[in-house]
């Protein structure tokens, strides 16, 4: 079972306006899966402490950074997120020549969270993820179902300075450094120029007969069946995303990225059995005195959702209305065999959004009116964030409740009006 879409984007100066890096991702997952937006504060950990990931337990580090995550609510990791140091990571499912193991190990989504919790730059996140990958491997069911759905992973990692694309095949990996312009990843390997890589990627490829050792080494072409010479010219997920970035190159803003993530004609905003269940856009100013701003929907279909802002400050209010119910040791994910039942994981915002979406589908007038209301709310918040970035003044007391307050306002828009 393979989805036909999942897309992560980054734009760096001079492709953007205002000396900012813009990051964006659509998480395309099973249409009935709930995606939650959750916050975990920075923490200190005792020597010998362990961390329980989705399927396996690994050694904890002495310190983990504060993170905000958009994640399928049944697992430990995340599809995408950011940390207090302005590092953003999104991951994609990829398939290639290497067989995918059914053994339970770290999910790619676990590696997203571990990279964010343990790295204060994009470059360090590459090191964290690859070290964990080589030590623990990747594997396990990536869907809350008794049906097996497994894949290898690629990652797009960005901070205020640069971006990295990291692509994997079992424990082998390649990384590409992106200093300017635009870059996107989808459900395929795409690295042709390897800036860093597993020490054995060439020898292993030669031993499998994938590379003759003579022609120039092309990671994507060698480890998968992709024709890298035609990646940006043929119709497909990677190509469509690339064309949208190139169309706006030189003037990309957060609003531009939101528009790309909402694009249904290209298939970026996916519909069907697999659909866009959560979306994220981040503004990473190159000026370190300015805050990074991260927008999350926490609901399916970005075209009918609100991108709500989040800024890291001390004492963040917990994001209760986008956090799913917790089932503890009784969670079917924790029991073996896994996934013998599927509990109701809908959070409050998801429920209200779901009801509103049904109303919007039943009436064009309701659809138009409600869509106008939530877009006005989104624009109001985006304008407030732009004022903060232009003025350099952030009211920390207000930022503590920034995301939660916007969620409350969104829920209010979905309530029946007299």
The catalytic residue positions are 6
CB-count burial class (<10 Å; 0-12, 13-18, 19+) for 177: middle
Report the alpha-carbon distance of residue 178 to residue 163 in Å, rounded. Answer: 5
Phi-psi region of 115 (alpha: psi -120 to 50; beta: other; left: phi over 0): alpha
Report the alpha-carbon distance of residue 197 to residue 59 in Å, rounded. Answer: 24
| Residue 23 β-bridge partners | 10, 282
CB-count burial class (<10 Å; 0-12, 13-18, 19+) for 393: exposed
Distance of CA 209 to the CA centre of its chain: 34
**DSSP annotation of 330:** G
**DSSP annotation of 416:** P
Query: Is there a contact between 156 and 190 (Cβ–Cβ < 8 Å)?
Result: no
Other CB atoms within a 10 A radius of the CB of residue 214 amount to 7
Alpha-carbon torsion (176, 182, 185, 189), positive or negative: negative
């Amino acid at each position: 079972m393979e989805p036909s879409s999942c897309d992560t984007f980054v734009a760096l100066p001079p492709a953007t306006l205002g000396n900012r890096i813009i990051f964006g991702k659509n998480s395309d997952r099973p249409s009935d899966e709930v995606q939650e937006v959750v916050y975990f504060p920075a923490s200190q950990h005792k020597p010998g402490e362990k961390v329980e990931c989705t399927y396996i337990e690994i050694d904890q580090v002495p310190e983990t950074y504060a993170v905000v995550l958009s994640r399928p609510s049944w697992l430990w990791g995340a599809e995408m997120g950011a940390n207090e140091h302005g590092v953003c990571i999104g991951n994609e499912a990829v398939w290639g020549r290497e067989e995918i193991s059914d053994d339970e190990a770290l999910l790619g989504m676990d590696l997203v969270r571990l990279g964010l919790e343990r790295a204060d730059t994009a470059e360090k996140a590459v090191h964290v993820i690859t070290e964990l990958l080589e030590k623990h491997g990747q594997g396990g069911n990536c869907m809350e179902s008794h049906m097996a759905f497994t894949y290898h992973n690629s990652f797009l990692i960005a901070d205020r300075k640069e971006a990295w694309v990291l692509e994997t095949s079992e424990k082998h990996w390649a990384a590409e450094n992106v200093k300017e312009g635009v870059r996107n990843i989808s459900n395929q390997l795409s690295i042709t120029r390897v800036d860093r890589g597993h020490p054995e990627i060439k020898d292993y490829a030669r031993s499998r007969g994938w590379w003759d050792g003579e022609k120039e080494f092309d990671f994507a072409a060698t480890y998968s069946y992709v024709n890298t010479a035609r990646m940006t010219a043929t119709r497909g997920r990677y190509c469509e995303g690339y064309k949208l970035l190139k169309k706006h190159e030189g003037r990309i803003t957060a609003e531009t990225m939101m528009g790309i993530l909402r694009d249904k004609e290209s298939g970026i905003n996916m519909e069907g059995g697999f659909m866009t269940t959560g979306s994220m856009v981040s503004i990473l100013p190159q000026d370190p005195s300015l805050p990074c701003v991260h927008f999350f929907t926490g609901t399916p279909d970005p075209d009918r959702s609100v991108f709500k802002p989040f800024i890291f400050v001390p004492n963040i209010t917990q994001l209760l209305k986008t956090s799913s119910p917790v089932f503890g040791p009784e969670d079917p994910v924790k029991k073996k065999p896994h996934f013998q039942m599927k509990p109701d994981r809908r959070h409050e915002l998801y429920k209200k959004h779901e009801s509103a979406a049904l109303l919007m589908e039943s009436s064009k007038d309701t659809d138009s009116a409600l869509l106008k209301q939530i877009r006005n709310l989104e624009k109001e918040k985006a304008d407030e964030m732009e004022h903060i970035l232009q003025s350099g003044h952030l009211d920390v007391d207000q930022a503590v409740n920034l995301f939660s307050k916007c969620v409350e306002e969104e829920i209010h828009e979905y309530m029946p009006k007299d």
